[in-house]
Amino acid sequence: MTHHPEDIEPPLLDDQLCFALYAAQRAVTAAYRPLLDDLGLTYPQYLVLLVLWERGETTVKELAEALRLDYGTVSPLLKRLESAGLVRRERSGHDERSVTVTCTRRADELRGRAAAVPGALQEATGLDGARVARLRGELRDLADRAARARASHAERGTHA
């Protein structure tokens, strides 16, 4: 028996993994918003500072890789953080093409207040530490698998 396109049921929104991820991401980002508003940060700015607090002085390239963003997305974020007095960007002394980013004293002062954000979100969602760790691991695995699939697809496309 052959199936005709008109016989196939269209996919349902609530059955889509991509939609579940999208909805969860939007809900979590919205839950972060009041916590980050108290710090005067947007969610993407918070992520940039998390990398800098963890690594210290970092190149723009390394920052973009850590956040899985392209340079064109990271650059305006850094501009706004610099205008707010939270980061400094400087050309590397040994490589003019490389730009390093460091936190200012003002950003370092925010670090202590920002330390409460993950716990506040965990409390708000009612997730215990074990469940958060499991979800985080599953999502990292999914992201890695999707990145490999994308790279494989791109590779096949260029060799066709």
Phi-psi region of 126 (alpha: psi -120 to 50; beta: other; left: phi over 0): left
**Residues 160 and 98 reside in one and the same domain:** no
Q: Counting beta carbons within 10 angstroms of the beta carbon of residue 81, is it exposed (0 to 12), middle (13 to 18) or buried (19 or more)?
A: buried
**Residues 133 and 110 reside in one and the same domain:** no
Please indicate, yes or no, if residue 40 is contained in any of the structural domains: yes
- Residue 3: pLDDT band by 50, 70, 90 thresholds? low
Boundaries of domain holding 149: 127-160
**Please, what's the largest Cα pairwise distance for the chain?**
70
pLDDT in tens, 98-120: 899 999 999 999 999 999 999 98
Please indicate, yes or no, if residue 1 is contained in any of the structural domains: no
* Size (the chain), residues: 160
**Residues 147 and 93 reside in one and the same domain:** no
What distance in Å separates the CA atoms of residue 100 and residue 86, rounded to the nearest whole number? Answer: 14
**Residues 105 and 32 reside in one and the same domain:** yes
Per-residue model confidence (pLDDT) at position 7: 75
- The count of structural domains within the chain is 2
User: Which residues, in sequence order, are CB contacts of 19 under 8 Å at separation 6+?
Assistant: 13
**Residues 33 and 75 reside in one and the same domain:** yes
Please indicate, yes or no, if residue 56 is contained in any of the structural domains: yes
Helix axes 43-55, 105-114, angle to 10 degrees: 100
What CATH number should be reported for the domain holding residue 78? 1.10.10.10
Structure tokens at 72: 């064109």
- The answer to whether the beta carbons of residues 86 and 107 sit under 8 Å apart is yes
pLDDT tops 90 at residue 93 = no
**Residues 27 and 92 reside in one and the same domain:** yes
**Residues 79 and 20 reside in one and the same domain:** yes
Please indicate, yes or no, if residue 8 is contained in any of the structural domains: no
**Residues 71 and 140 reside in one and the same domain:** no
Per-residue model confidence (pLDDT) at position 8: 85
Structure tokens at 2: 């052959």
What distance in Å separates the CA atoms of residue 31 and residue 25, rounded to the nearest whole number? Answer: 10
User: Which residues, in sequence order, are CB contacts of 103 under 8 Å at separation 6+?
Assistant: 49, 52, 53, 86, 87, 88, 111
**Residues 65 and 119 reside in one and the same domain:** yes
Token pair 């963890």: residue? 54
Please indicate, yes or no, if residue 106 is contained in any of the structural domains: yes
**Residues 45 and 74 reside in one and the same domain:** yes
**Residues 119 and 132 reside in one and the same domain:** no
pLDDT in tens, 19-57: 999 999 999 999 999 999 999 999 999 999 999 999 999
95 or 56: which leads in pLDDT: 56
Q: Residue type at 1?
A: M
**Residues 135 and 105 reside in one and the same domain:** no
pLDDT in tens, 132-158: 999 999 999 999 999 899 888 788 775
